[in-house]
Amino acid sequence: MSQKILAINAGSSSLKFKLYDMPEEVVLVSGLVDRISHEDAVFTYKIGGHDDKHETVQPVKDHTAAVQLVIDALLGSGLIKDKSEIIGVGHRVSHGGRYYTKSVEIDDDVAEKIDELSVLSPLHNPVNLLGIQAFEKLLPDAKEVAVFDTSFHSTMPRKAFMYALPYKYYTEDGVRRYGFHGQSHQYIYGEATRLLGEQATSKLISCHLGNGASICAIKDGKSVNTSMGFTPLAGLVMGTRSGDVDPEVLPFLEEKHHLNSEDVRSMLNHDSGLKGLSDVSNDVRDVLDAESQGNDRAKLALEVYVHQIQEYIGSYTTDLEGLTTLVFTAGVGEHSAPIRQRVCERLGYLGVKIDDAKNQANEVEIEADDSRVKVMVIPTDEELIIARDTQKIVG
Ligand code: ADP
């Protein structure tokens, strides 16, 4: 029997949703409420199978108002006749800490733990919780499920997730690498394997290059290492996030410029990465444009960005003891042929060789005929993983 499941990805000022018919995995409606808490919030949605987008601009006070808008649109579309038809709501939740290695039905205890884990993911867990509370209020009959970014990485061996800090900070405070973007990396492995078979994807590196970015080494379907860490700040150069820096830089800057830890945290999360290096933009397209007009800082930013990706790929081939498949996904990975080309151009030593025409055309398989490694471009679908897990739990 088909069941209606909502997949929710709540950000600080946005709420993305997809309504699925499960287990058929048909998207009935997808949409976004953007600029929540502004007078000119934008609500867009699309009915599955139709090209036309509905768009309205209106004040949206908070996440509860955004959820009300979504529910009204679903009822208005005629795709559901009553709210009670939605049996489950799956929420992307950033941090599951040491508590959750799998998705879980949300009750008071789970909500408390998500709240408690806000110290580890201050930008995401609190807003994920706002989404959860809004649905609890407006869809009281639906069961809610938390699908954690961190769960997929719970298979990492301890040698990969431990930091070499005094051990008590691990046991008492949970300081370790957790990793994020789990739904995306899990989806990428599943899709690559569906297309190529398990043998061909036994040593896979998934490069999720969006505004946030992370790389994951996946051995026989299990995450064995990933570039984000205790928080989603670590690892690659991102749109506005720094990725890895020598930790000693932070007290140095704090002391020299009389900054407090909140100033430094904000600088690392919002003013660094491509934006900080280039002073152009956090968007790869803008930085590429500026570079083509001779902007050397844009060129530098892209050099560092690509170099960091190459370093991680190189190091993860050691975790995997080889490489069968390299996959690019998310905004940059799916759409930017020049970035994929630059990343791959120094990976010949691993047997990676791409076909320029296939790369330019964003084909699914972009490796050259004589490449020893499969190189793929796969659009990610985090919501589908959320919907699958939710249906498994509440269906
Ligand atoms: P998020 O991490 O916020 O989910 P996305 O995965 O949608 O974001 O990625 C957004 C980023 O993708 C943009 O900031 C932009 O840098 C990049 N992007 C999107 N399309 C292109 C493109 N055609 N070329 C280069 N970069 C692109």
Atom 20, ligand 1: residue with shortest CA distance: 331
Q: How far is the CA of 139 from the centre of ligand 1 (A)?
A: 32
Per-residue pLDDT tens over the stretch 240-259: 999 999 999 999 999 999 99
Q: What is the pTM of this model?
A: 0.95
Atom 24, ligand 1: residue with shortest CA distance: 336
- CA pseudo-torsion sign 220, 223, 224, 226: positive
149 flagged as catalytic: yes
Ligand 1 site-directed mutation target among 183, 233, 284, most atoms within 8 Å of CB: 284
Per-residue pLDDT tens over the stretch 192-206: 999 999 999 999 999
Please, which pLDDT band fits residue 341 given cuts at 50, 70 and 90? Answer: very high
Residue range 309-318: mean pLDDT, rounded? 98
Q: How far is the CA of 343 from the centre of ligand 1 (A)?
A: 16
Q: How far is the CA of 209 from the centre of ligand 1 (A)?
A: 8
Q: Is 285 annotated as a binding residue?
A: yes
Residue ranges of domains in the chain, CATH in brackets: 3-148 (3.30.420.40), 196-377 (3.30.420.40)
Per-residue pLDDT tens over the stretch 354-367: 999 999 999 999 99
Q: What is the DSSP letter of 122?
A: T
Residue 148, both tokens: 């954690």
Contact between residue 230 and residue 176 where contact means Cβ atoms under 8 Å apart? yes
Nearest-atom number in ligand 1 for the CA of 285 is 25
As a whole number of angstroms, the distance between CA 271 and CA 11 comes to: 19
Q: Where are the alpha helices (DSSP H) in the chain?
A: 63-77, 108-116, 125-138, 158-161, 168-173, 182-196, 249-257, 261-270, 273-278, 284-292, 296-320, 330-335, 337-344, 356-360, 382-394
Per-residue pLDDT tens over the stretch 99-118: 999 999 999 999 999 999 99
